[in-house]
Structure 1
Amino acid sequence: MRILVANDDGYLAPGLAALVEACRGLGEIDVVAPEQNASGTSNSLTLHRPLSVFTASNGYRYINGTPSDCVHVALTGLLPHRPDLVVSGINNGANMGDDTLYSGTVAAAMEGYLFGVPSIAFSLVEKGWQHLDSAARVARSLIEQVLASPPAGAAWLLNVNIPALPHEQIAGRRVTRLGRRHASEPVICQANPRGEPIYWIGAAGDAREAGEGTDFHATAQGLVSVTPLQVDLTDHRAAPSWVSWLERA
């Protein structure tokens, strides 16, 4: 068994070390992570400059690029073998609802999925790494389960959000769907030392669709949210109406 571990918080992040430790004993582990925090980079690949691979003192390899770069480079030339599983995280903060579109943590796992490798993204719902040990235990348990009894299909992609709770207070696991958020808060305008305007992206909006069955609802109940994801963005439900619209033109 070969496991590739990546993240978006950077190779020095506590969540990465916790996930690597959670995988110990399950197989041969390779770590390829970003050199710096790359949160919010989504599925971007670096195409305008070459990428460099470095090796840290602990054996982790890191790349001066995005989370998708890390998995892409690992799978297409860096590693001498194809991993059996890609795991990403443990992220410092939730990746639920619309956040998954921006998440570098999810993107790293998705890159593995795009190459046909089963992949899991792990996130700790609250920022600050509180109860990271508990999240690592959850990750270990889920990885053990998928290795012992793989889900159906050649490849699959899971987005896992873990409540920041002591392990004994986690109420279980639940398969969920993505909720939705309200629009983000307005940008924050400031002035740089030259008096020129600069802009910070505003905070994420509050949960808008967080009813039963969603990832927001599950984690609020102390449950681990497990959301199967797909890449197909086609609006199949609306397609027939668009066909009718074209025929009327």
Structure 2
Amino acid sequence: MRILLSNDDGYFAPGLACLADFLSKMAEIIVVAPERDRSGSSNSLTLDRPLNLQKSHNGFYYVNGTPTDCVHLAVTGMLDVMPDMIISGINQGANMGDDTIYSGTVAAATEGFLLGIPSIAVSLVNASRGNYLTAARVAADMVSHFRENEIQSPVLLNINVPDIEYHQLKGIEVTRLGRRHKAEPVIKSQSPRGEVMYWVGAAGPAQDAGKGTDFYATQNDRVSVTPLQIDLTRYDQLDFIARWLDNQAPVMFK
């Protein structure tokens, strides 16, 4: 089995190293990751300059681009044989609820899914204790399950693992995305040259974190597995917007 690994924390991140080491015992591993931390880069592609692929001392490949760039470059140009699966992570911190919109970790997996390859994003919630091995073992469990029970169509799974020892996990739960409150305000500061600077504020606390959500599962020491989709269409508003436009048509298009 051949697995392509990527992330958004950079090719030097401890979570990526732990994941590659653990999975190398059960599959052929190729790592293509960003040359620096690209957290929050979402699904951006670099279109205004060429990308440079280099190989580090530990055998990992790294790209001067985004997580999406890494997977796209690997699958459409670098690899002669397609991977059987793409795994992005292990991210240093959760990617739950609204985080998935901004997450480079999820974006790397999304790109694999769009290219027709089963893809998984794996994140370690909190990560202050550094239980990356727990998340690596969960990822390995998923790989084993996929190998033994192959899914015919591509899937995109967002997995969040509590930052505890593997034996402390209380199981696995298929969840939906929760919701956060709006983000904290930007933080205004001043550079040594007197220039006004702004730092993006922290993510808001969980708002929708009830039973069945990714927040609820991880808070109760369970692994959260959320199947994701790409279609952002809000189907329940199609008829409403059509009627709204019909009412405006004489004004807008006369």
Bin for the TM-score computed over the shorter chain: over 0.9
Query: 2:50 is matched with which residue?
Result: 50
For residues 82 and 94 of structure 2, the distance between their equivalents in structure 1, rounded to whole angstroms, comes to: 29
**Cα deviation, residue 246, structure 1:** 2.3
Please report the RMSD computed on the Cα atoms of aligned residues, expressed in angstroms: 1.1
Query: 2:21 is matched with which residue?
Result: 21
Deviations 1:59-103 (A, max 9, x none): 110001110000010011011111110000000000000000000
For residues 211 and 238 of structure 1, the distance between their equivalents in structure 2, rounded to whole angstroms, comes to: 25
**Cα deviation, residue 129, structure 1:** 5.4
Query: 2:235 is matched with which residue?
Result: 236
Deviations 1:6-35 (A, max 9, x none): 011100111001111232233321110000
Deviations 1:141-172 (A, max 9, x none): 11111121123x42110000000011111000
**Cα deviation, residue 185, structure 1:** 0.4
Query: 1:209 is matched with which residue?
Result: 208
For residues 198 and 12 of structure 1, the distance between their equivalents in structure 2, rounded to whole angstroms, comes to: 28
For residues 139 and 181 of structure 1, the distance between their equivalents in structure 2, rounded to whole angstroms, comes to: 26
Query: 1:219 is matched with which residue?
Result: 218
**Residue 187 (structure 2) pairs with residue 188 (structure 1):** yes
- SS of the residue corresponding to residue 10 of structure 2 reads coil
Name which one, 1 or 2, has greater alpha-carbon Rg: 2
Q: How does 1:73-84 map to 2 (within 5 A)?
A: 73-84=73-84
Query: 1:3 is matched with which residue?
Result: 3
Unaligned residue ranges in structure 1 (runs of 5+): none
Contact 2:94/2:126 (<8 A) preserved: yes
For residues 201 and 25 of structure 2, the distance between their equivalents in structure 1, rounded to whole angstroms, comes to: 42
Query: 1:108 is matched with which residue?
Result: 108
- SS of the residue corresponding to residue 9 of structure 1 reads coil
Give 2:94's aligned amino acid: A
**Residue 50 (structure 2) pairs with residue 87 (structure 1):** no
Contact 2:23/2:136 (<8 A) preserved: no
**Residue 118 (structure 2) pairs with residue 126 (structure 1):** no
4+ residue runs of structure 1 moved beyond 4 angstroms? none
Contact 1:92/1:125 (<8 A) preserved: yes
Query: 1:165 is matched with which residue?
Result: 164
After TM superposition, the structure 1 stretch with the greater mean CA deviation from structure 2, 131-140 or 32-41, is: 131-140
For residues 222 and 180 of structure 1, the distance between their equivalents in structure 2, rounded to whole angstroms, comes to: 19
Give 1:83's aligned amino acid: P
Deviations 1:173-209 (A, max 9, x none): 0000000000100000000111110000000000010
For residues 88 and 117 of structure 1, the distance between their equivalents in structure 2, rounded to whole angstroms, comes to: 13
Contact 2:119/2:157 (<8 A) preserved: yes
- SS of the residue corresponding to residue 68 of structure 2 reads helix
- SS of the residue corresponding to residue 218 of structure 1 reads helix
For residues 96 and 157 of structure 1, the distance between their equivalents in structure 2, rounded to whole angstroms, comes to: 14
Unaligned residue ranges in structure 2 (runs of 5+): 249-254
| TM-score, with length taken from structure 2 | 0.95
For residues 176 and 247 of structure 2, the distance between their equivalents in structure 1, rounded to whole angstroms, comes to: 35
Contact 1:14/1:129 (<8 A) preserved: no
Percent same amino acid among aligned pairs? Answer: 55
Query: 1:177 is matched with which residue?
Result: 176
For residues 62 and 128 of structure 2, the distance between their equivalents in structure 1, rounded to whole angstroms, comes to: 23
